[in-house]
Amino acid sequence: MFSSMTSSAATYVYDSSGKLVAVSDDVGASARYIYDSIGDLLTVDRFAAGQLAIFTFPD
């Protein structure tokens, strides 16, 4: 289960444990946050506006 919150400037997506997993802004730039099995942040992938970014989330 994932939830998202939207403001006038950005959309934030959280996983079921409340960790931030994705952000996108109103001009199309985005970031994806990847965590390890104990919840520590491993990677932040950033994508420029107009760059194809495919986000998949396990159920």
Query: In the prediction, which pLDDT does 50 show?
Result: 77
Q: Which two tokens stand for residue 14?
A: 């959280």
Cα distances from 11 to residues 33, 37, 41, 46, 51, in angstroms, run: 14, 25, 19, 14, 17
Q: Are 30 and 46 in contact (CB under 8 A)?
A: yes
pLDDT tens digit string along 30-51? 999 999 999 988 888 888 887 7
Residue ranges covered by each domain of the chain: 3-47
| Residue 15, burial from CB neighbour count under 10 angstroms (0-12, 13-18, 19+) | middle
Question: Which DSSP letter does residue 30 get?
Answer: E
Give this prediction's pTM. Answer: 0.69
